[in-house]
Amino acid sequence: MRISLARARLELRHTFRIARSADEFRESVIVRLEENGIEGLGEAAPSPRYGQSAESAERALASIEGALLEPAGHIEDALERAAGRLAGEWAALAALDIALHDLLGKRLGVPLYALLGLDPGKTPPTSYTIGIDTPEIVAEKIREADGFPVLKVKMGLGNDREIMETVRAHTDRPVRIDANEGWTRDEALEKMRWLEGLNVEFVEQPLPAADLEGVRWLAERTSLPIFADESVRVASDVPRLAGTFHGINIKLMKCGGIREALRMIHTARACGMKVMLGCMIESSIGITAAAHLSPLADYADLDGNLLIRNDPAAGATTLNGKLVLPEGPGLGVTLREGPAANALERSSAR
Ligand code: MG
């Protein structure tokens, strides 16, 4: 099997500001696996929150030779071997996992959702994310989110009330809040009590990842469901969160790909928890891979590709906010021609 890598510079439509960071662009590493004339596509969208960068992901992927992933259809075994080499580079692992699933689907001639035995009609709507910004830009983003039935609003930088007032001045659609670990316990309690009356579905990660005691304290005092994002990475993290968080946010880039995401979904279900599928800022390669799993989720926040203006790929789309899966085999993703292709920069072939 032949592996090649390309760096993609994903330009954001707006500066993407959350409680801990602000970005004008994000970099992904696109992986191509080629075997017998069939190409599998994958993407690593590394997160600085987990100590990763495009450089570190690329370096990790460059340590994988094609023979390590053979035979390509034995995905569990191939990923177990790869994981040993990719210590801590979960986005890089996700890229290989996604590409191997794409390759398998193409070889069998079936879309990934069919390979997983899922009904493509059961995809949920995706929320559309409003980053932290001035009232003028927040209003502009709400206009861009027209047609999406749910908004995800980022908080945690001190202007939370101003942002929520702007949102409510423009729309009465339900809102999901994500504080990205940005609140203290007292602040979270005050904000969540205020948010209870504002048509909010749930609050994601109000407190720092390790503060489970704080989440239990909050849950006893507020009625809004609380979802874990930074507090949960893989399936083995899930059981200790049961009874504290109401649900978990699963991201392929955080957990290492489709295989681990499936384990997380089933573990969460066994623990009586809700499941959300989320994303980083990603191209349509990573987003489409997660979208194929979305018939298993209660909620989707798969809008990373919608927040960039030079998506180098085309795959899953939305219709009135609902995710629409492509019909092609594997991921059903194609690389775009023209200006968006400039986002891709071939960095190595081996
Ligand atoms: Mg989050």
CA 30 to ligand 1 center in whole angstroms: 23
pLDDT score of 329 more than 80: yes
Residue 329 domain flag: no
Q: What is the model's pLDDT at position 39? A: 97
Catalytic, out of 160, 204, 260, 301: 204
Q: Which residues pair with 30 in a beta bridge?
A: 6, 43
Specify whether 252 is located in the same domain as 213: yes
Residue 330 domain flag: no
Tell me whether residue 133 is one of the annotated catalytic residues.
no
CA 338 to ligand 1 center in whole angstroms: 33
Q: Which residues pair with 64 in a beta bridge?
A: none
CA 206 to ligand 1 center in whole angstroms: 10
Specify whether 55 is located in the same domain as 83: yes
Specify whether 317 is located in the same domain as 180: yes
What CATH number is associated with residue 6?
3.30.390.10
Query: What is the average pLDDT across 82-102?
Result: 96
**Residue in this structure with the two tokens 């930074």, named with its chain if needed:** 230
Q: What is the model's pLDDT at position 87? A: 86
Residue 164 domain flag: yes
What CATH number is associated with residue 134?
3.20.20.120
Residue 228 domain flag: yes
What φ, ψ does residue 273 adopt, rounded to 5°?
-105, 155
Specify whether 288 is located in the same domain as 230: yes
Residue 134 domain flag: yes
Tell me whether residue 77 is one of the annotated catalytic residues.
no
CA 203 to ligand 1 center in whole angstroms: 9
Query: What is the average pLDDT across 79-85?
Result: 95
pLDDT score of 24 more than 60: yes
Give this prediction's pTM: 0.96
Specify whether 175 is located in the same domain as 192: yes
How many angstroms separate the Cα of 236 from the Cα of each of 7, 154, 208, 336? 31, 27, 19, 38
Q: What is the model's pLDDT at position 346? A: 64
Q: Cα 12 to chain center, whole Å?
A: 16
User: 187: burial class by Cβ within 10 Å (0-12, 13-18, 19+)?
Assistant: middle
Q: What is the model's pLDDT at position 56? A: 97
CA 136 to ligand 1 center in whole angstroms: 23
Q: Which structural domain, as residue segments, surrounds residue 101?
A: 2-109+336-349
Over residues 117-130, the pLDDT tens digits come to: 999 999 999 999 99
Mean per-residue pLDDT of the chain: 95
Specify whether 223 is located in the same domain as 310: yes
Is residue 301 within 8 Å of 176, Cβ to Cβ?
A: yes
pLDDT score of 338 more than 80: no
Tell me whether residue 178 is one of the annotated catalytic residues.
yes
Total domains in the chain come to 2
Over residues 277-312, the pLDDT tens digits come to: 999 999 999 999 999 999 999 999 999 999 999 999
**Residue in this structure with the two tokens 């891979």, named with its chain if needed:** 289
Specify whether 31 is located in the same domain as 57: yes
Distance separating alpha carbons of residues 77 and 193, to the nearest angstrom: 48
Q: Cα 112 to chain center, whole Å?
A: 17
Residue 331 domain flag: no
Over residues 49-65, the pLDDT tens digits come to: 999 999 999 999 999 99
Q: What is the model's pLDDT at position 344? A: 77
Three-class secondary structure of residue 22 per DSSP = strand
* pLDDT tier for residue 235 given thresholds of 50, 70 and 90: very high
Over residues 145-177, the pLDDT tens digits come to: 999 999 999 999 989 999 999 999 999 999 999
Distance separating alpha carbons of residues 138 and 133, to the nearest angstrom: 6
Catalytic, out of 154, 191, 260, 303: 154
Residue 70 domain flag: yes
Tell me whether residue 154 is one of the annotated catalytic residues.
yes
Specify whether 204 is located in the same domain as 310: yes
Specify whether 309 is located in the same domain as 199: yes
> Which strand (E) or helix (H) includes residue 12?
strand 2-18
Specify whether 33 is located in the same domain as 120: no
Query: What is the average pLDDT across 75-79?
Result: 96
Catalytic, out of 35, 178, 181, 303: 178
**Residue in this structure with the two tokens 């960071």, named with its chain if needed:** 21
Tell me whether residue 229 is one of the annotated catalytic residues.
yes
CA 102 to ligand 1 center in whole angstroms: 27
Catalytic, out of 27, 133, 229, 311: 229
